[in-house]
Amino acid sequence: MKLKRFRGKVGKESVAAKFAAATAANGFSIQEEKPYAELWMGTHPSLPSKDLETQRSLLDMVQDNQALMSPEITKKYGGKLPFLFKVLSIRKALSIQAHPNKQLAEQLHSRDPKNYPDDNHKPEMTIAVTPFDGLCGFRPLAEIAHFLHTVPSLRKIVGDSAAGEFEKAIEGRATSSSEQDMKSNKKALQMAFSALMTSGKSDVRSAAQDLVASAKEEGDKFAGGGGPSNDGKELADLVVRLNGQFEGDIGLFVLFFLNYVKLEVGEAMFLKADDIHAYLSGDIIECMASSDNVVRAGFTPKYQDIPTLTNMLTYSYAPISEQKMHPTDYPYVKLNTTAYSSNSSAILYDPPIEEFSVVRTELNKSGAKATFEAIQGPSIFICTGGHGKISVGPKTEEVKEGYVFFVGATAEAVLKSAADQFTTFKAFCELGHEAQQNGA
């Protein structure tokens, strides 16, 4: 269990805490007054998972036996699991952040290992297990221009000159698909966003007071009634809520540049390295390349590296619909008759990278069974609801909410429900899987 002070949900409201307590080791028990934010599953050196019976770390186990991950994956990823699997329970906004690409991660780690503890990139995928909201990627340019025009305090903090240059630069080509126009648009967006992020702290605090006052007074008329993605009342409520958590923070203005995304249970989004985001609330399953590198720039008392952030971002801009993933049926699982008749499912979330994919399995009747074909790579299963059994080879184990299992390469795994609802998530890596799935 990894804790983030003040950010996680408190006590048993935290899904991460409940799952951690299900197979508690070292005397862990949930304290009702404490926040619990993250449960980690994997081999990351700062918090490797451990075998419940032997207390051996998963990192030691896969390094001692290369067959558990496959020799190919062991060689490519240095004897460590390619992915880090997490459960997050978010009560208070996490920092505005991005994760570096591989080349930048190597540079940052070499230059500042204290703040950038490893040399790996960190693309990540988020799947909601309760209703979730967050900021994800830059809004369409016309929406940003609309807010610069209708939110006086935003325009003031960006600067009238910088705002005007942005509006002029994108005029008539905000939605152009021309490579030259898109390059020009990204440059204009970078200049405007950098102007915001380099504002003086006293100026930000003063402008934030005006912003919050407007949000409270104007209601549904706030921000010119909002943009196509979010209405004025929704934005006003968001400003007031976030100001209650981080009073006078630069993040109150950043939200007008970023998509405000809501995910219902089962919905997901994928963030490439160098994509800006901030998770605001909810419980999620998160899978990422195995790294703990974070470049922060708002909603945090921690180290902020604004020059690195403003220079590293892709400045890609797109509507909310393009931020969400579109899962498909997982083809390498067999459901028995009971599973089919109860509308059970195994859904694949398959991002365009090779380090990880995730399968969400829902067995909707006692006796429903899902048989996962053996793959040439490792898997981690976690149960998020109901109960049942998992069988790998001759061994069968009971599965309850919060139980986590590692399954080695080339092993078939069978899930069988003992209730009318049995939900699991499986993170896995198989080299070549992404290319096969996408027809490359």
Give the catalytic positions in this structure. 296
Judged on CB neighbours under 10 Å (0-12, 13-18, 19+), 202 is exposed
Count of C-beta atoms within a 10 Å radius of residue 311? 13
Q: What is the CA radius of gyration of the chain?
A: 23
CA–CA distances in Å: residue 179 to residues 171, 185, 322: 16, 10, 19
Count of C-beta atoms within a 10 Å radius of residue 216? 14
Contact status, residue 367 vs residue 395, Cβ threshold 8 Å: no
Judged on CB neighbours under 10 Å (0-12, 13-18, 19+), 54 is exposed
Measured between alpha carbons, how far is 426 from 335 in angstroms, rounded to an integer?
A: 16
Alpha helical stretches, state H, 33-140: 58-64, 71-76, 102-111
SS3 of residue 145 by DSSP: helix
- From the list 317, 323, 322, 321, the residue with the least C-alpha distance to 142 is 317
**Which residues have CB under 8 Å from 372's CB, separation 6+?**
332, 333, 359, 379, 412, 413, 414, 415, 426
Provide the strand spans (E) within 290-332: 295-296, 328-329
Contact status, residue 378 vs residue 397, Cβ threshold 8 Å: no
Measured between alpha carbons, how far is 239 from 216 in angstroms, rounded to an integer?
A: 9
SS3 of residue 31 by DSSP: coil
Measured between alpha carbons, how far is 52 from 417 in angstroms, rounded to an integer?
A: 22
Measured between alpha carbons, how far is 82 from 84 in angstroms, rounded to an integer?
A: 7
Count of C-beta atoms within a 10 Å radius of residue 197? 21
N- to C-terminal Cα separation, the chain: 38
Alpha helical stretches, state H, 300-422: 306-312, 337-341
Residue type, 280: L
Strand partners, 287: 85, 125
